[in-house]
A and B are shown apart, each in its own frame.
Chain A
């Protein structure tokens, strides 16, 4: 995608950069750039929406373990097809991604197995499995290099993200997966909400909770795999985590969360990717995450109900009221003013 930016950006003035950015944003950056931009934006939209359900189920970091563990699958696939890659042929992204999906799923299964068998806290199991399997991935990669002498080019891209090295086919694949996930989320949002909100209730109502959970896991996996190339396995979880967390600061209702989180994810992806297209050496994945992080930070401070500023103002008010009343001991309610005041709590001085 950075093919439009092979020239040194350091030499460009801010005005020139702005013009260039405007060109990219108005889809004048070349067909390849446009496909990647559209794919990443779609991915951001889908990830933002899927992430809402992960967050509601407090499973935000399962995706992180999935992504870390996917390296082992990439390494294994790389090893098995070492000769093929060494032949100088085009890297077979589909095979690598298949390996990634398999090992990621294995890791998620291992985490839940540890949880069921041992009572280890969930976060310990998650951190242990994700780091150990990532280590295994590194070992497999070094083994592959040792045995086949295969070139690791493109694999760094999967770890740290490299939208720049995506082919049009890669981008189309990413967009297609994101599109399918999006349709699935929109279609299944009611049962997903029910299962995430109150699992037991959903079960009683006859919803196939097991199937819905598997569906959510599959959607998270699809997003993670689709985002590996553009964002990288160490950061892709952020696309699932930050937009929902930001949306949570503004609204509590699920439809609002889904809309807002999707929009935040899409706009961060669009902004990050387009800026990356005009700046050399500015990886799209990192920029997307940083745009997201900025929107989170602003929301944390300024959101109307849950924001820090609003909270401080309300807290000051209630403290003031409490101090004013503290030296007037109220008569016990019982026996004096029967009944009605008991439930009103602190609302006595207003």
Chain B
């Protein structure tokens, strides 16, 4: 039989821990390419823009059914990135300004939607938008070790965890498949085009996967954590130098580590220190920032060489 303490942990904390770790690793992996392409702020903008999509999905179907809200969020994130490139290109406005225009507009639309539609009463709470709903990921574990270790048990995990797990498997596979063209396209887009590699297509595929991961992570983790995990681990890994594959893996590792230790710190360590848990998403985000700060302090600046 599984002892009670472990049972409690499995019931309350296992699913959120798994969700945070899977999402953090995947976002760290995908964030490395955003950072390389200098599009970190676009990830930020997309994470903010998810909100109006969720609200629209909710308003159109009138329910909190996951699928329409997922589709709505995906559409909104896609719209945000399309609008940013459109405005930059045709309005001749510098990218950071275009990003500022687009994501604030969409986020304002989302807030208005939440407040005015009555969605707020149905638990599309604005606080959840920021810190997610990790605590709602609740799992009823089997009662014996034998059952716990059987493969079929995996499927009893909450839907969010399964989706994030699927993305965590799919992402490295896709990246491995398109690795060489992706490297060429990210390093030197012009050259990749002249070699007939369709860099736009390859990058769009990775970008689409990034969008899906942002949206899938959003509900459980909230917007702050998504942005932090897209940028901080990759920025920290970037300071280590080395070759591309090492950088990408390190970014995923930093992300996953922030997820595991941040979550355990907030839910297991904090209660013994201050007598109660603290916000887990916020802690994971802060920890990823701390890793960046440490790496930056250890970083040998080039001018000193």
Is the A/B pair a real complex?
A: yes
Residues of A within 8 A of B (CB): 55, 58-61, 64, 113-114, 117-121, 123-139, 141-143, 146-147, 156, 159-161, 232, 234-235, 237-238, 240-242, 244-245, 248-249, 279, 281-283, 285-287, 289-290, 292-293, 296, 300, 306, 308, 311
Contact of A245 among B101, B228, B276 (CB under 8 A): B101
Q: Which residues does chain B contribute within 8 Å of A285, judged by CB atoms? A: 108, 111
Q: How far is the CA of A120 from the CA of B237 in the complex (A)?
A: 11
**Structural contact, B115 and A286, CB atoms closer than 8 A:** yes
B92 lies within 8 A of chain A by Cβ = yes
B24 lies within 8 A of chain A by Cβ = no
Within 8 A of A (CB), among B92-108: 92-94, 96-101, 104-105, 107-108
**Structural contact, A238 and B104, CB atoms closer than 8 A:** yes
Interface bracket on B: 35 or more
Minimum Cβ distance to chain A for residue B142 (Å)? 32
In the A-B complex, the 6 residue pairs with the closest CB atoms: A132-B289, A135-B285, A138-B282, A238-B104, A293-B105, A241-B100
Chain A residue nearest to B222 in the complex (CB): A138
**Structural contact, B289 and A129, CB atoms closer than 8 A:** yes
Q: Which residues does chain A contribute within 8 Å of B289, judged by CB atoms? A: 128-129, 131-133, 135-136
**Structural contact, B286 and A139, CB atoms closer than 8 A:** yes
Residues of B within 8 A of A (CB): 35, 38-41, 43-44, 48, 87, 90-94, 96-101, 104-105, 107-109, 111-112, 115-116, 118, 126-127, 130-131, 224-225, 227-228, 230-232, 234-235, 238-239, 266, 274-279, 281-286, 288-290, 292, 296, 299, 301-302
Q: Which residues does chain B contribute within 8 Å of A238, judged by CB atoms? A: 100-101, 104-105, 108
- Taking chain A's interface residues, is the majority helix, strand, or loop, or is none over half, making it mixed? helix
Minimum Cβ distance to chain A for residue B163 (Å)? 22
Q: How far is the CA of A130 from the CA of B40 in the complex (A)?
A: 12
- Taking chain B's interface residues, is the majority helix, strand, or loop, or is none over half, making it mixed? helix
Which of A139, A141, A283 gathers most chain B CB within 10 Å?
Answer: A139
**Structural contact, B301 and A117, CB atoms closer than 8 A:** yes
Q: Which residues does chain A contribute within 8 Å of B235, judged by CB atoms? A: 114, 120, 124-125, 128
**Structural contact, B96 and A131, CB atoms closer than 8 A:** no
Q: Which residues does chain A contribute within 8 Å of B279, judged by CB atoms? A: 138-139, 141-142
**Structural contact, A286 and B108, CB atoms closer than 8 A:** yes
Q: Which residues does chain B contribute within 8 Å of A161, judged by CB atoms? A: 111
Contact of B274 among A128, A143, A249 (CB under 8 A): A143
Given contacts A60-B96, A137-B282, A146-B276, whether A118 and B301 have CB atoms under 8 Å apart is: yes
Chain B residue nearest to A231 in the complex (CB): B108
**Structural contact, B281 and A135, CB atoms closer than 8 A:** yes
Q: How far is the CA of A248 from the CA of B93 in the complex (A)?
A: 8
Q: Which residues does chain A contribute within 8 Å of B90, judged by CB atoms? A: 300, 308, 311
**Structural contact, A139 and B231, CB atoms closer than 8 A:** no
Chain B residue nearest to A123 in the complex (CB): B41
13 contacts between A and B (CB under 8 A): A60-B99, A113-B296, A118-B239, A126-B40, A127-B41, A128-B228, A131-B285, A132-B292, A134-B285, A135-B282, A135-B286, A286-B108, A286-B111
